[in-house]
Structure 1
Amino acid sequence: MHQPTFRSKPLRLAAVLLAMASLPAIAHHGWSTYDQTKPLTVTGKVVESHYENPHATIRVDAQGKRWFAVLAPVSRMESRGATQEKVAVGKQVTLVGYQSKEKADEMRVERITVDGGQTVELR
């Protein structure tokens, strides 16, 4: 079987573009969609947890509302003591962060306290 060679610039460019298009979108997004002028504190129970990159996320039932909370990247969470077990379903958390300007039930979390214990700075 003949392997294609990418000696010409158009073929190399096409190969690079194809490879880029096939990757999942993992580019980091900006935080401008969160209202940093109004800090928000939410306390409730974790009902869903996704401990994966690019950011860990949890859903929290608090004050009659279900919040979608964007946490930090997993490596930062772990290095600061916010392990997967600490943000697992059923844990009581207090989140301090900023509400999304676009989604009424979403927030970006700056710090998290789990089960009334240690507070972890995420940013």
Structure 2
Amino acid sequence: MPSIVRPLLRPALVTACAALALAALPAVAHHGWSTYDETKPMTVTGKIVESHYENPHAHIRIDAGGKRWLAILAPVSRMEARGATADKVAVGREVTLVGYASKEKANELRAERITVDGKTVELR
């Protein structure tokens, strides 16, 4: 390859590598579900005391009989597509969650489904 072409390829190669590395960051930042105990499904009913309708996963905190649970829900786009809009998971709403408790964090669960106003929405 002529010597004048090689220096021109280096910036393009560096730019391409940087773009690929940045594109991979969301995948690295995303967590897996192996930290939740799928052998023991649980049901929790309570009032929402905190709601975060944001990506990568919406999450709510509910007060269930004096115990506070952090519930990891689905991505916002999936929740909206299935009818679990922000107003359905707003503070003050009563919900029933079916999911799996965290193996590592006390009072945290990954919700598989949520019931609000008598309507059940599958989150996975």
TM normalised by structure 1 equals: 0.82
1:25 Cα deviation after fit: 7.5
Tell me how far apart the structure 1 counterparts of residues 51 and 69 of structure 2 sit (CA, whole Å).
Answer: 12
**Letter aligned with residue 119 of structure 1:** T
Aligned: 1:58 with 2:60: yes
Runs of 4+ in 1 over 6 A off after TM superposition: 23-26
List alignment gaps of at least 5 residues for structure 1: none
Tell me how far apart the structure 2 counterparts of residues 13 and 88 of structure 1 sit (CA, whole Å).
Answer: 43
Tell me how far apart the structure 2 counterparts of residues 34 and 92 of structure 1 sit (CA, whole Å).
Answer: 24
CA contact (8 A) 1:69 1:109 kept: yes
- Tell me, what secondary structure is at the counterpart of 1:53? coil
- Tell me, what secondary structure is at the counterpart of 2:74? coil
* Number of residue pairs matched by the alignment: 116
CA contact (8 A) 1:55 1:72 kept: yes
CA gap 1:82/1:64 in 2 versus in 1, 3 angstroms: same
1:28 Cα deviation after fit: 2.7
Tell me how far apart the structure 2 counterparts of residues 13 and 83 of structure 1 sit (CA, whole Å).
Answer: 39
- Tell me, what secondary structure is at the counterpart of 2:14? helix
State which structure, 1 or 2, has the greater radius of gyration over its C-alpha atoms: 2
**Letter aligned with residue 61 of structure 1:** D
Q: How does 1:3-82 map to 2 (within 5 A)?
A: 7-8=9-10, 12=14, 16=18, 20=22, 27-82=29-84
CA gap 1:106/1:82 in 2 versus in 1, 3 angstroms: same
List alignment gaps of at least 5 residues for structure 2: 1-6
Aligned: 1:120 with 2:118: no
